[in-house]
Structure 1
Amino acid sequence: MTILAFVAVLGPLVFIHEMGHYLVGRWCGVKAEAFSIGFGPELAGWVDKRGTRWRIAALPLGGYVRFKGDMNAASQTDPAWLQLPPHEREGAFPSKPLWQRAAIVAAGPVVNLIFAVLLLGGLAMVRGEAISEPVVGHVAAGSAAEAAGLKPGDRILSIMGRPIDGFQDIAAIVSLRPGEPLAYEIERGGERIEKDIAAGTRIEKDRFGNIYRIGQLGVASGDIVRRDVGLLRAPVVGFRQAVQITRTAVDGLGQIITGRRSVSELGGPLKIADVSGQAASMGLESFLFFMALISINLGFINLLPIPMLDGGHLLFYAIEAVQRRPVSPAVQEWAYKSGLALLLTIMVLVTFNDLGSFGLWRSLSGLIG
């Protein structure tokens, strides 16, 4: 179940990501020489009438489209493209205007984000949208909210300067920041009050053994209603949920970088596979929601300005736009090697974390002891 669920999540997401690159590349007149799902040895492949090699590889942890003029799967420019005859050079990726190259590179992450919005919107059409005003209905005894003086009827207007439109916005911000003082703006009886409140910490362990530290304010909302979502409104709801999930991902990554959360909370392919199986066992809706979550994270991560990723290429194009000439091959080579080293380091780290979350290191220490 876990293996099948992992392939069912990652396979389609990688495919639509690379298809975004491929379709925009075709629209810009760039020849695709290879379209690969996965890396490593080829399990199956064929060549279409346009001369593109479509391949399925052994390691389903990503994919790539190699365009004409690319030296490798990381889309480094092959200097040999300049030696092509003029009529063939037109179909090479490096020959295209800057805006077209940027559009081709950005298309992959953007398609992942659009897919997530449509998926979340579809789920909203099926189960409706829960609506709850950001008004405190109940304050738990002994909670951080009680210690801060919050009262039933208080309307929370903003946290950390971010406007609060619904009660779910409070949880999205607070849950990631246990014990961290945050700036609140509250409306009480027509009067606006500003104060710093630090949420308490709740330790949760799910039925699969995963442990989480979650910030808890200690307030409950008033009445919650579930509103039907029509076809036209579904993309709006999906977009809003996708923005909220992306913001949560940015917050979590920022907390890890600044040391407010442990790097042990970073997960990798093994953890994704494990949670894929968990989500599949909980039903179709949970599985589709998890798929949307991974699609958003895949798009977000690929937009990070790290060489070897799409965001790294976009960074080079931004520099090229400013200085009116491409980044020198020597600098690009150094950046790609550094980016590869960083990605490999992260991969080792998250794999170490994944194995630790499965209890491997505790088991080994017990055997050694």
Structure 2
Amino acid sequence: MDLLYFALLCSVLIFVHELGHFVCAKIFGVKVLTFSIGFGPRVLRLRGRETEYCVALLPLGGFVKMLEENRQEAVLPEDRKRTFESQALWKRVIIVMAGPAMNVLFPVLLYFAVFIGETRFVPPTVGVVLPGHPAEGRLIPGDRILEVDGERVSTFAELHRIVTKSPNQELRLKVFRNKEHVEVTVVPEEKVVQKPLEIVDRVGEIGVRPSRPAAVVGVSRPDSPAFRAGLRTFDVVTEVRGTPVKTFADLEIALEESRGATVPVTYLRPVTVPRALGGLAELAVYESGVAALTPESGHGDLLARTGIEPADLYVAEVPEGSAEWDAELRPGDRITEVDGVEVTAWSTFVERLFAAPDRSHVITWQRSGQRKSGTIELRREDWIDEYGQHRPRFYLRASNWSPMVAEPFVDSPSAFQFALESAVDETYDVIRFIVVGIVRIMEGKVSISTLGGPITVYDVIGEEGAKGVSYFVWAMAVISINLGLINLLPIPVLDGGHLLFFTFEAVLRRPLPLRVREIASLVGLVVLIGLMGIAFKNDVERRWDVIQGQFKELVG
């Protein structure tokens, strides 16, 4: 099956590439003698009016043979104006550029086919507003965003795209809130995103998430009504008075009128199974229960009347031996401060730590109503990424558990536009990544050992094809862009080499001598073979490393 995927990939991409040359040559009246996909023995041959169409056995290349004056075949007088050399320089540039251009543009169609298949979208409803971000105080959970600067949005993905592209620009939002329309202005803050190969993106962010917190409770005070009723941190409330509860907002509404009266609360409690599956997995099961909750009377909020709050700031897991464990942080503790500054959400807690990941931080928490504190350092791991660059990576070992409840999916009335814009954005990102990668290799910042050859392509295509059609199409798009950009390198025998010759021709106002072009092509062929040899060597070394790893696992 992997071989079939590989053959399909090569055949399609080569066909697309050569089709670009073929179509442009035909448009400009150049006589095309042969259009061939593959090399080696021909398995299919069709003769057209003036072009022979061939499919060869080995789908690792192809060519479009045009009528040229410097070839040994005789050129008839009536075909003199139909040779490749007889065309104006700009026409020859277009013909040569057409192949790589098709490889670069073809992924737009491939990505479009993937995105157009997405038929279920998250609505543009605010689920969570992150503290300390532009949306705080302007948007509230439950807001349905209808328009941005007069442009209608029907999915959260559309909202995200607009916000991402608008750092430091004021946006006017039309919001549906409490059965009425309101106007809200917000200025997305600029967020710097570090990517591989030293690529830096500056994107906009307002600090909203589309899903709402589930009805998972945190109970920190042992003297609270919730604790006395038997509720504990991380209990998932499912019903109040027999009424189903899904989100924490539902829980707040269900208990809003309960002041001094006992209310039956049904919950599920996650209980860890020790050594699940013989220690092969970490597993928890739910145990059901019912609590008789008696909220205090008065006009306080839910926390004041019951001792119940969202479980967002409560620590769910702390690995033994971690810096957090050594600081005596334990599951069930509620984070309150970082470096003396109060935090109101786990996201804020994490942001404060990673704002200065390479220094110590003093964190403060509550346990059974008592205040505790300790000093931690984020775990640092220095590693070499797949591009040969040294990169530090920091980890927070403690984690919380705050599951979210997604809004019901909606259909997008602008699915075509969404798919097209997403396809163009994705193609642009891949092009930029590959171009930067080539530049980094030339600069010596990325090892040439990252080059991959046909074995790597074979492995990648096999892996992605096994996952499904959309993954295969995605991988095909990336490889197509690679093929197009590599063909533009100024190496004679590649399309980029022809463009280099044309550049000299434009400057000198005459073609380079045939002998010069032949020598340059020979040198280019040697360079290309050398690069292919390096890529093949890298492929073999990677495959050998995989085999050694599998062997060690087998015997160890």
Residue number in structure 2 paired with 1:53 = 52
For residue 66 of structure 1, report the CA deviation from its aligned partner: 0.4
Give distance in 2, aligned partners of 1:38 and 1:68: 20
Residue number in structure 2 paired with 1:35 = 35
Unaligned runs of at least 5 residues, structure 1 = 70-76, 139-150, 156-163, 190-194, 205-209
Matched, 1:5 2:30: no
Q: For each residue in 1:267-311, what CA deviation from the matched residue of structure 2 results, as whole angstroms up to 9, or x when unmatched?
A: 011110111100001111111100111111111111111111111
Matched, 1:78 2:99: no
> Of Structure 1 and Structure 2, which has the larger fraction of its residues in strand?
2
Over 3 Å counting, the alpha-carbon distance change for 1:253 and 1:130 in structure 2 is farther
Residue number in structure 2 paired with 1:106 = 97
For residue 23 of structure 1, report the CA deviation from its aligned partner: 0.9
Tell me the C-alpha RMSD between the 2 structures: 4.1
Over 3 Å counting, the alpha-carbon distance change for 1:188 and 1:289 in structure 2 is closer
Identity of aligned residues (%): 33
| 1:208-219 alignment runs, 5 A limit | none
Over 3 Å counting, the alpha-carbon distance change for 1:91 and 1:247 in structure 2 is same
- Is contact 1:356-1:362 (8 Å) kept? no
Letter in 2 for 1:67: M
Give distance in 2, aligned partners of 1:183 and 1:176: 9
Q: For each residue in 1:233-265, what CA deviation from the matched residue of structure 2 results, as whole angstroms up to 9, or x when unmatched?
A: 433321221111011111222222222222111
Residue number in structure 2 paired with 1:249 = 434
Give me the TM-score of the superposition, normalised by structure 2: 0.49
Residue number in structure 2 paired with 1:88 = 79
Residue number in structure 2 paired with 1:348 = 533
Residue number in structure 2 paired with 1:285 = 470
Q: For each residue in 1:335-366, what CA deviation from the matched residue of structure 2 results, as whole angstroms up to 9, or x when unmatched?
A: 10111001100111111111111117986xx9
- Is contact 2:197-2:436 (8 Å) kept? yes
- Is contact 2:487-2:494 (8 Å) kept? yes
Give distance in 1, aligned partners of 2:27 and 2:75: 22
For residue 27 of structure 1, report the CA deviation from its aligned partner: 0.8
Give distance in 2, aligned partners of 1:187 and 1:3: 43
SS in 2 for 1:319: helix
Q: For each residue in 1:86-132, what CA deviation from the matched residue of structure 2 results, as whole angstroms up to 9, or x when unmatched?
A: 31212211111111111111111111122111111222222379999
Give distance in 2, aligned partners of 1:255 and 1:25: 35
Give distance in 1, aligned partners of 2:23 and 2:204: 50
Give the number of the structure whose alpha-carbon radius of gyration is greater.
2
Residue number in structure 1 paired with 2:158 = none
Give distance in 1, aligned partners of 2:109 and 2:516: 39
Over 3 Å counting, the alpha-carbon distance change for 1:249 and 1:200 in structure 2 is farther
Q: For each residue in 1:176-220, what CA deviation from the matched residue of structure 2 results, as whole angstroms up to 9, or x when unmatched?
A: 34xxxx88989999xxxxx9x99975568xxxxx99878577699
Over 3 Å counting, the alpha-carbon distance change for 1:273 and 1:183 in structure 2 is closer
Letter in 1 for 2:59: P
Aligned residues: 313
Residue number in structure 2 paired with 1:263 = 448
Letter in 2 for 1:62: G
Over 3 Å counting, the alpha-carbon distance change for 1:217 and 1:305 in structure 2 is same
Over 3 Å counting, the alpha-carbon distance change for 1:166 and 1:332 in structure 2 is farther
Letter in 2 for 1:104: I
- Is contact 1:154-1:186 (8 Å) kept? no
| 1:1-369 alignment runs, 5 A limit | 1-48=1-48, 50-69=49-68, 78=70, 84-127=75-118, 153=133, 165=165, 173-177=194-198, 228=412, 230-359=415-544
SS in 2 for 1:95: coil
Give distance in 2, aligned partners of 1:265 and 1:188: 33
- Is contact 1:61-1:269 (8 Å) kept? no
Moved over 4 A (4+): 128-132, 151-155, 182-189, 197-204, 210-220, 223-229, 360-363
Q: For each residue in 1:54-77, what CA deviation from the matched residue of structure 2 results, as whole angstroms up to 9, or x when unmatched?
A: 1122321111100011xxxxxxx6
Unaligned runs of at least 5 residues, structure 2 = 136-163, 168-190, 207-354, 359-379, 397-403, 552-556
Deviates more, 1:50-59 or 1:274-283: 50-59
Give distance in 2, aligned partners of 1:260 and 1:249: 14
Give distance in 1, aligned partners of 2:384 and 2:41: 44
Deviates more, 1:111-120 or 1:85-94: 85-94
Give distance in 2, aligned partners of 1:131 and 1:17: 40
Residue number in structure 2 paired with 1:141 = none
